[in-house]
Structure 1
């Protein structure tokens, strides 16, 4: 390691040590860092695949779209983690101890401002979370005895209901579905109805112009 870099690391470590009494603020800053990294890692490959498979425009335009989507996801997630951890620290100090409702209030408040803007990235993230919290709440209800543990497997019925509803919506009311879902389902269920030769039956979805 270069001597100047080693000195810089030593100084930074000393500063972190001196600031250890502000652990909650430092945790928020580390959360910002982790949110940026995680958001970029999650969004970049997904956006790259979806934009290049289904997007339109030149190569440069597609790359700009990928970068825009990645930046939006990463910065929103980073801002949310940072704001949530600060809000949690504030509530903790205000009440002098942790309360079980603190996470909800902190996340509710910060989520309104960070993920409240109606755009494609936020919609995907919110829907991703919605499906998982519904699943989690049902399991919690069983654990707490609010719902009786079923005697037979429930997951097949969950899958059947999910796929039945989404295909009913797609075939009859596709305008209400999110654009990315509608694009994927069009590729799977509508484009597979059309071909003119063996080339666009096997090799291509549609013959290149």
Structure 2
């Protein structure tokens, strides 16, 4: 069996299996803790029956990450073969591999994967990708357009004339300012939509917002009840 692990012929398959294993471990850790906390917060009753949906959600999350990891790794290994894209096109192969894996796992073309979990993971990645694309475009603009800035002495400098420390400070300032506007817009929209058409928000977000913000619908007969003790 040890010869299989060192045999280059089996290396692509072993890498795919290892990625799937890591997806199971990571998905299990993330989903179990999240589902357990949500279950304890919003549901009542005996502990053991309440653990069943926690374990099911953990299994579903692990399946999604493991399936995508395996499909993606296999697709990329096949695409970089000389008869297809070739080893010099790894970025294109990874783009196509990601699209192919998402078509099977995340797009809900097939009914094998939990739609709520695939929605959550995809939306999480969307927010991260949006921020990353913004930073990439900013870097491209600064390098290609070479905008002018004034230093503390009032001298006009191109972006490339700045030291690496000054460039980093400038980028962080722009990142920070854009994040402020992004956060303001997102929270303004989510609170507006929750009041206007809450049924269009994702169910777990809607339930958590109801729990936190709809306190005017609650009534309390004592301070103990008010404090939830």
Equivalent-residue separation in structure 2 for 1:193 and 1:142 (angstroms): 46
Equivalent-residue separation in structure 1 for 2:197 and 2:14 (angstroms): 48
**Corresponding position: 1:28 with 2:10:** no
* Off by >6 Å, runs of 4+ in structure 1: 146-149
Q: Could you say which structure has the greater relative contact order, defined with CA pairs below 8 angstroms and 6 or more residues apart?
A: 1
Equivalent-residue separation in structure 1 for 2:12 and 2:51 (angstroms): 37
Q: Give the equivalent residue in structure 1 for 2:193.
A: 169
Shift of 1:28: 0.7
Unaligned runs of 5+ in 1: 1-11, 205-209
Correspondences of 1:1-209 after superposition (within 5 Å): 12-17=1-6, 19-55=7-43, 58-93=46-81, 94-99=84-89, 100-117=91-108, 119-145=115-141, 150=174, 153-191=177-215, 194-196=218-220, 197-204=222-229
Which one is further off, 149-158 or 36-45?
Answer: 149-158
Question: Are the structure 2 counterparts of residues 53 and 152 from structure 1 closer, same or farther at C-alpha, using a change threshold of 3 Å?
Answer: closer
Equivalent-residue separation in structure 2 for 1:60 and 1:123 (angstroms): 28
Equivalent-residue separation in structure 2 for 1:50 and 1:199 (angstroms): 23
Equivalent-residue separation in structure 2 for 1:38 and 1:175 (angstroms): 31
Equivalent-residue separation in structure 2 for 1:61 and 1:112 (angstroms): 35
Which string of whole-angstrom CA distances, capped at 9 and with x for unpartnered residues, describes residues 144-182 of structure 1? 218987598222211111111111111121111000000
Unaligned runs of 5+ in 2: 109-113, 148-170
Equivalent-residue separation in structure 1 for 2:199 and 2:94 (angstroms): 35
Equivalent-residue separation in structure 1 for 2:34 and 2:196 (angstroms): 28
Shift of 1:57: 6.0
TM-score by length of structure 2 reads 0.76
Which one is further off, 83-92 or 55-64?
Answer: 55-64
Contact 2:68 2:105 in 1 (8 A): yes
SS in 2 for 1:76: helix
Task: Tell me the C-alpha RMSD between the 2 structures.
Answer: 2.3
Shift of 1:20: 2.5
Q: Give the equivalent residue in structure 2 for 1:8.
A: none
